Structure 1
Amino acid sequence: MPAIAEIEAVATNHLAEQQEELLALEAIYPDRFNYRYHIDRNIGTAHVFVVAEDGEWWNIVTRNADRKGKEPELGEATGEMVLQVRHMPPVRIDFTLPPGYPYSTPPTVRLECEWIDDDALRATEALLRDAWAKERDMILFSWLDMLADIRSFAQLTDPLIVSNEIAWSIRSFDQMVREADFARTLYPCPVCMEEVRGSDCLRLACGHAFCAGCLTGYFSLMIQEGRLASLQCPSIECQPEPHKPDEPELRYLLGDALADRYAQLQTQRSLEADPTIVWCPRPTCQGPAHCDATVGDPNRRNGAMLAVCNQCYYSFCTGCNRGWHGPVSKCRLPDDAGIQVDLADEYASGYQEERRKLEQQYGRHTIRKLVRAQLGDDAISDADDGCDDDDPRKPRKTATDNAVQENETAASSARPRRIGRIAARRETRKWIHENTKRCPQCRSQIQKWHGCNRMQCFVCKGHFCWLCLKLLPITDPYSHYRSQGESKCAGLLFLGVDET
């Protein structure tokens, strides 16, 4: 039998080798590895982070039964895919190094992990002991390396089946690690072109990061100026559709004051784009009101519809903006003399459809009486004997034209000055009529000054065809010009481009 001194010498040598291995691991993993010497052996704990390789993910599926990590039995529902993560909560390994380690006595090992079932953990422990049996040498570093790739080492299922509670725990841990990595990484700001640490950056939901000053300044300017269409990720790499932050994201980035203004502008834009929304005529209110038909709807009786303000509950006529007078009574003429002159000239110089709408709203007798009072009897006869009403693009010779010619030498009198203003307004309406069209969705006036015939309304963002005024699908508006036989505008996408 060996002498006691020899046994003690061997034990001392083993202890020195253990200390050397433990100190090396403590230096490599300072925050995840610790140990202590107890009686005659070293006892330690390590936490192994499990990270998916580049281009790979951990697929997590929820399930109701308590079957951590196991394949579902035949007929058992597997649940639904809830998330993909790169960082999994760490695997804890508790080990004990006996006096005979590393050459003669194996270390003891115990694994703990919330997202791996107990059977898989015990099988993995057996694999670790087998690895020492083959080497019979210092094995702790190899163990930690094996556990870092535990998916293939322990042959875990993909997707991994866990409970809802564990799935949320995995998601929270993955988000925490991502945020920590982001905070200590340097990123080039696409706006100021300077490298900034992630802790001083703001990152949008699309993944692009900017220094806090650049991004908040840009978004604040867009909101203050009401340019919501430009409120998007400033990175040129954000393609094909730049990311547009929503209200919760802006509230997190900019604070409550600017986020509240953004929400107010968004609400206002959506109301303006809604053809069934008009505005309360009361100066102290001016809130939104819903009417039963859109402005310009031919089904509206007398050219007006009932609207009730959502804020002050005032019921009014959308034609004359006065209190609701019922569907049979005509609208009263406005009290303002200037508006009366405009109405008279609009009727006298208008096209047949425009005159018909005014007659429906105010009554034929009332509007013609107004024209006689403002422009004279000749205005009515000239309006009735004007150009062919079937050609709305053909200019009419109006009472205003005759009046301007008759009074060219009387510039100092009141009537020629009034007629000059009327003529200017008539020319403006004529230009709008000849050079613009109404959006078929919200009825806003649109001018086309260059580009193809696929148009997008600046108010409601709807897509429509400039040639036939048909609303186009948002997903593929150009299909309207490719559908041979189904659309009369097929092949006419660029018709008239050179003339625009």
Structure 2
Amino acid sequence: MWTREGVLYAWVAFLSGDEFLDSLSLSSKSHITIVNHSPSTLLPLLESYDAHTQNAAFAETSYPCAICLSPYKGRHCVRLACAHVFCRSCLTDFWGSCIMEGDIGRVGCPDPGCVKAGHEAGEEDVIRVVGEEEVRRWKWLRTKRALERDPGMVHCPVAFCQTPVPSPEVDDDDSGWARLRTCPTCEYAFCAFCRRTWHGPISACPLRVTESFVEEYLGLPEGDARRAQIERRWGRGNVKRLVAKYEEERMNREWMDNCTMGCPGCGVHVEKSVGCNHMTCAKCKQHFCYLCGEKLPPSEPYKHFNTPGKKCFSKLFEEDLFDWVV
């Protein structure tokens, strides 16, 4: 930090005399030097003194403002966290205009390098530059932007609240805890899917997506007012997740109906790979016909296929009943 010989010599002389200890209030009134201070005590005092000295030097140095191209003393300028310096008047007007227009993405260093990198100003810099009202609006706009970028954001279902509630930080999105939301305003804990009081991560959500709802939602184009209303009410991420889950379950049902046969005893669906159509359920041990689903007597299971007039007569090895999906 202190590289030049003159500055270094001045610091050595300053630290070795009583003037240094007097400035840090570390000497007694009798001018007896106190030397029993640990480095942990002296370090913050030295850092504070160094910062004060740098600020004093900054205030008396002239800097060209990159916005208005005029030179100003440091006392009339702001040095941002990125070390770029601008006159306070220009920066206050620029940031204030951006905050008023809602374009908080431009509230940052106007230097072309920082603009290209997309660096935004931190809270400390914003507080130093603009007024309290602009700071409150800036914080509100940042919160609003973060919520709008959150696909799992939902509004509190309490009628008098309606506060936006962000997604929880859950590693496993498939876990039941991913549905839990707690309103930061009224502290109402609810399920993000059904908007009812939180029913736990294990209990099935009572919300059910119907075929008509899915058809209506998928039939609406992006940007449609009705589609936006649905997403705003239930949460865009939740709606897309529920619709995708419904479509998956629908395709599973179609496959089960077309490619399997349910056991007449317990309802477990069975898919035959090879062999005859006499099936024995692995769960309940019920004998049944794979073609028609009729129960078969365990003592004479093949009589069903050998009785003339029966629908499955001579079809013990028939395999073209279902429309197999390739």
Task: Indicate the TM-score class for this superposition, using the shorter chain for normalisation.
Answer: 0.3 to 0.5
Q: TM-score, normalised by structure 2?
A: 0.48
Of Structure 1 and Structure 2, the greater strand share is in: 1
Larger Rg: 1
Q: TM-score, normalised by structure 1?
A: 0.34
